[in-house]
Each structure stands twice: as structure tokens, then as C-alpha cells.
Amino acid sequence: MAKSTTSAKRGLWWLWSAIAGIVSAAAFLAIAELAALLFAKESSPILAVGAFVIDIVPQPLKEFAIATFGSADKVVLLGSLGLAVVIAAAIAGILQYYVRPFGLVVIALAGVLSTAAIVTRTGASALAWLPPVLGTLVGCAVLVLLISRLRRWALGREAGGVVAASRSELVTHPQTDAAAPAPADPARRDGVARRESGFGRRSFLTATLVTAAAAAVVGVGSRLLNATAASVDALRQELRLPEPRSTVTVPNGAELDVEGISPLITPNADFYRVDTALTVPTVDPSTWRLVIDGMVDQRVELSFDDLVGMGLDEYAVTLTCVSNEVGGGLVGNAIWQGVPIRDILSMAGPQSGADMVLSTSVDGYTASTPLEALTDDSIDAIFAVAMNGEPLPLEHGFPVRMVVPGLYGYVSATKWVTELKVTTFAEDEAYWTPRGYAAQAPIKFSSRIDTPRAGTPVAAGTVAVAGMAWAQTVGIERVEVRIDDGDWQSATLSTPINADTWVQWVLEWQAEAGTHYVEVRAVNANGDTQVEERAAIAPDGSSGWQRVLVTVTA
């Protein structure tokens, strides 16, 4: 016999399933926001769909909204959109409970619509589809999970009153159970049903609560971080740096006209990025401070305006990562604008006995740079504020980073830098030192073949073998190429910008059909030949000559 309380509770399943739908939508949005933060900033479904709706609202309705709500029109529009999302999510939950799998269909539809809204926006990146798609998958998974638990709860409860509850029936739809035969033993039947129901209720409520809380934390957190990044990006767009006092002249002949060779100046968008930051730090230049402390006569603290006010000069420097394998792409060349680090260190007055500068970034990353490399008049170590004519991109250290010619990035090129502590190698350790990398790491000079490439056959005849070579602070004197272990031949070099930048090289090769080894090595301006012996990237950088197997077709 169904008791009256049971029938009252029975009426609530639609409400619980509506809540499950709303929590699934929250999970969808939270994961999409998180993925947007990590992979594609512009892909927030909340904003993209909002913008889409604003775009498609008919003009008369827009005018009506503006007339009625004034400057709050967008808030009203987005509020209505939010309400529509909540209602649709509730309906999805109810549908999934009563007419499986139509709830999933509603979420998938929302996924398709938001993906379409996102990828069709101007400026959408290649990964723009990822956040809404991940969100859809997680939203669907949460909906299935919650509704199946709810069903278990409902089934046990209703079975306890009216119908059977055999294990196999617990996973079937409640509606179908009305037709099921009653079991022979009512006491056993009630016991099983109550246990199942109790378990179902607890697991449903726990999963709902935990998912709702996690979605709230992840979603709100990601949205805030995303919004901060967007606002710092806006500050960067508005930032007007003073004209540099001096500029870099790129000499004639600095860039060779060879198909497939890397550009002499690496565009910011193509510049390699290496850091430990999970999300790009966002630093407002107006609150940024640089502190010089430690073994100094006087602690120095500078604002961004103080730094830039010292006058900017241009420097061309090729950056190299210690993780760059022979022939690899973790090397790039840019024209930076900045202020010599030695000028600022001298304001603080390093004390005798100091031999290292520990630089720290806003996110706690540290690098150990020999004090010598930052004070030497002949080394252009700078605090850089601009990269290739624009303020540093956020991911390359906005608003201020270090650039030190001749040292691998991990011991010198601290991005989002905020502090320089003058200290000793004996006293302090940087981020990578206890992790298997050397405390001091000058760049091992090297050369790279850009063209031809292994796996891309070339036609027999004259083939341009070309690439890059770098020996920061020293300069490249010669690049040599040999084919199939033949004699070393001198390549033609581009005119270097300076000793801190890479040079391009090219050698015309009369290639005959077949497969051939093409090998390169550099000689630096001191007359040293690039080290032949292969070394791994740890602890202080790779070495060896790059050798490419090239297929030449007849």
C-alpha cells in the first residue's frame, strides 16, 4: 500500500531531476571556463553566447531594451540568457529522468550552439572549439551520473511502497516498474528496497552537492582569472612606451632569400615559449615593482614608470632554451627594448663577496645569474619591456623580463620579474638547480639545418641547404656543411646584426638522386669548432652536430 508520505515524495522527483540538470549545466560551464583559461582565452561560452545573443537580437528589441532598461540593457539581456540557461538545464534534467536520453540531447544541443557561437567569432584561435566541447562532455557525464543515482533512490523508494525491487530492476526506468510483479516475500522486498533507496539518496545528494561546489569554485575561479588576463591584456594594448633613444639597424644582407629558412627576426606569435606557469601571470604595470636587495649597499625599488623613464634602447638578442635539442626549435631572435641591468644594479651597489643574482618572478620562479654577466660593460643584459616593437606579450613576461645574451633562458631570462637579490651561489639556489640542471649555464654555440628537411624529399639538381647558427656574445665566424661524410664546405653567411644574434647560412648543393646525409657545424669567432660529442639537454644544454637524412628524387 502506498503511504501518503510516499506519494508526496514521489512528486519531488521532477524537482530533483531539475536540480541535477542545473548542476550538470554548471559543470559544463565550469569545465569550459577552465579549458578556456588553459587553452583558448577567448572561448568562454558564457561570454561568447552572450555576445552572440546580443548580435542576433533584432534591432527593434535592442532599441526596446535600451529604452526600457537604459544602460542596464546588457545586464538584462545576459540575465535573461542566464535564466534561459537555468530553465533549459532544468528541463534537460527532467527529460533525462523521465524520457532518457533526451536530457543528453538538450545538453549536446547547447554544446553545438555554444561551439558554433565561439568558433564563428572573429579572432577565434585554433583551439577555440575545445572548451565548449570538453564542457559538453563533462556536462553529459555529470547528467548521466546524477540521474542514474536519482533513479536508484526513486526506484528503491517506490518499490518499497508498491512494486518489486529486484537488482536488475534497479537500473531500469521507474515507469516500467508499475507493471512488474510483486515478489513473494514482502518483508524481504521492503528491506532491499529501503537499503537501495537509502544508498541511492545518499549517493545522489553527495554527488550533486560535491559537483555543485566544485563547479562553483572552478567556474568562478577560472572566470575571474580569465577576466583578469583580459583586463591586463587591455592595459597592455593601451600602454604607450616612449620611443627608444637608439634603434637596432638590421644591415643589408642580414636576411637570406632562401625558401624554408627561419626568419631572421622571429615574430612574437611564433616565438617559442617555455615556463613553469600553468596560467600566464597577469601583472598590472601600474602596480608592478622591481626590488633590488640582498648584498647591496642600498635597497632599490622601482616602478614601471621609473624604469621606462631611465630611457629605452634597442637590443637584438637571440634567446635559447637549455631544453633545445640539436636541431630543435627552442631558440628565437627578437629586437628588445629595455634598460641595462647594470645601471640599476649600480644604483643598489652590489657588495664584495657577491657572485650571483637570484631573480624572482611574480609566480615565484627563480633564476641564478652570475653577477658578472649582469655588471659587465660588454654584455647587454637588460630589463626588457618591449619585444619586436610592442610591449612584451603577456606570455613573454609582460610588463618586464630579463634578457641576458649568452646564457640559457632558465638561468637568465626571468619573465614577469619582480626582484633581484644580490647573493652567492653558495647561499642561494634557483628553481631548476635542485631539479637536475646546472646552476650556471652559458649557451653552447650551435647550428641548425632548416632546409631541406628529413621526410620532405627534394628534386635532384641545385638544392639550397640552409639554416641558422648562433654563438651569443662571441659571434659566428664560419658554418660548414658536409654531404655523406665528404669534405667540409664553407656555407655563405648572412651579415650578422651583432654577435648576440643568430646568423643565417646557405650552401648550394648539387644533389643527386638517392638518400644523403647532410651535416652542419659552426665555428665561432674565437676559432672554436662546435662540439661534436652528443650531450643530453640536462644538466647544461645539448651538444653535437645536426645530421639530416635527405631524400633526393630524380
Ligand X SMILES: Nc1nc2c(c(=O)[nH]1)N[C@H]1C(S)=C(S)[C@@H](COP(=O)(O)O)O[C@H]1N2
Burial class (CB in 10 A: 0-12, 13-18, 19+), 325: middle
* Residues comprising the chain, all counted: 554
Q: How far apart are the C-alpha atoms of 117 and 112, rounded to whole Å?
A: 9
CA–CA distance from 444 to each of 171, 262, 303, 382, 466 (Å)? 65, 20, 35, 21, 20
CA–CA distance from 28 to each of 23, 107, 146, 216 (Å)? 9, 9, 14, 11
Residue 273 binding result from ligand X, Mo ion, none, given CB thresholds of 5 to 8 Å by partner type: ligand X
178: helix, strand or coil: coil
Amino acid at 530: Q
CB 107, min distance to Mo ion, A: 42
CB 272, min distance to ligand X, A: 5
CA–CA distance from 16 to each of 5, 30, 170, 216 (Å)? 17, 21, 18, 19
CB 403, min distance to ligand X, A: 9
Q: Which is nearer to Mo ion, 432 or 509 (CB)?
A: 432
Q: How far apart are the C-alpha atoms of 199 and 170, rounded to whole Å?
A: 12
CB 418, min distance to ligand X, A: 9
CB 323, min distance to ligand X, A: 7
Note whether 409 binds Mo ion by CB under 5 A.
Answer: yes
CB 323, min distance to Mo ion, A: 5
Q: Which is nearer to ligand X, 77 or 319 (CB)?
A: 319
- Are 445 and 522 in contact by the 8 Å Cβ rule? The answer is yes
Amino acid at 289: R
Residue 275 binding result from ligand X, Mo ion, none, given CB thresholds of 5 to 8 Å by partner type: ligand X
- Only one of the segments 238-246, 362-370, 405-413, 526-534 lies at the binding site for Mo ion (rule: CB under 5 A); that segment is 405-413
Contacts with Mo ion: how many residues (CB under 5 A)?
5
Residue 16 binding result from Mo ion, ligand X, none, given CB thresholds of 5 to 8 Å by partner type: none
Q: Which of 159, 321, 367, 522 binds Mo ion (CB under 5 A)?
A: 321
Q: Which is nearer to ligand X, 177 or 419 (CB)?
A: 419
Q: How far apart are the C-alpha atoms of 504 and 262, rounded to whole Å?
A: 8
Note whether 432 binds Mo ion by CB under 5 A.
Answer: no
Note whether 410 binds Mo ion by CB under 5 A.
Answer: yes
Q: How many CB atoms lie within 10 A of CB 182?
A: 11
Q: Which is nearer to ligand X, 96 or 266 (CB)?
A: 266
Nearest residue relative to Mo ion (C-beta):
321
Note whether 332 binds Mo ion by CB under 5 A.
Answer: no
- Are 94 and 83 in contact by the 8 Å Cβ rule? The answer is no
Q: Which is nearer to ligand X, 273 or 299 (CB)?
A: 273
Residue 260 makes CB contacts below 8 A (sequence gap 6+) with 450, 451, 452, 453, 464, 466
- Are 339 and 242 in contact by the 8 Å Cβ rule? The answer is no
Q: Which is nearer to ligand X, 142 or 319 (CB)?
A: 319
Residue 473 binding result from ligand X, Mo ion, none, given CB thresholds of 5 to 8 Å by partner type: none
CB 498, min distance to Mo ion, A: 22
Q: Which is nearer to ligand X, 365 or 545 (CB)?
A: 365
Q: How far apart are the C-alpha atoms of 419 and 303, rounded to whole Å?
A: 12
- Only one of the segments 161-169, 270-278, 292-300, 343-351 lies at the binding site for Mo ion (rule: CB under 5 A); that segment is 270-278
Helix 45-56 to helix 130-161 angle (10° resolution) is: 100
Q: Which is nearer to ligand X, 216 or 536 (CB)?
A: 536
Nearest residue relative to ligand X (C-beta):
409
CB 277, min distance to Mo ion, A: 13
Residue 319 binding result from ligand X, Mo ion, none, given CB thresholds of 5 to 8 Å by partner type: ligand X
CB 287, min distance to ligand X, A: 17
CB 320, min distance to ligand X, A: 7
Q: How far apart are the C-alpha atoms of 65 and 71, rounded to whole Å?
A: 9
Amino acid at 476: I
Binding residues (CB under 6 A) for ligand X: these are: 271-277, 319, 321, 361, 363, 365, 396, 409-410, 413-416
Dihedral (CA of 115, 117, 118, 124) sign = positive
CB 472, min distance to ligand X, A: 13
Q: Which is nearer to Mo ion, 159 or 321 (CB)?
A: 321
CB 167, min distance to ligand X, A: 54
Note whether 271 binds Mo ion by CB under 5 A.
Answer: no
Residue 3 binding result from ligand X, Mo ion, none, given CB thresholds of 5 to 8 Å by partner type: none
- Are 547 and 484 in contact by the 8 Å Cβ rule? The answer is no
Residue 272 binding result from Mo ion, ligand X, none, given CB thresholds of 5 to 8 Å by partner type: ligand X
Residue 365 binding result from Mo ion, ligand X, none, given CB thresholds of 5 to 8 Å by partner type: ligand X
Residue 396 binding result from Mo ion, ligand X, none, given CB thresholds of 5 to 8 Å by partner type: ligand X
Residue with cell 645536426: 546
- Only one of the segments 19-27, 263-271, 322-330, 435-443 lies at the binding site for Mo ion (rule: CB under 5 A); that segment is 322-330
Beta strand ranges found along 363-484 (DSSP E): 366-370, 382-387, 390-391, 401-403, 417-423, 446-451, 458-459, 461-470, 476-483
Dig out the grid coordinates for 452 from the structure: 631541406
Residues of this chain that bind Mo ion (CB under 5 A): 274, 321-322, 409-410
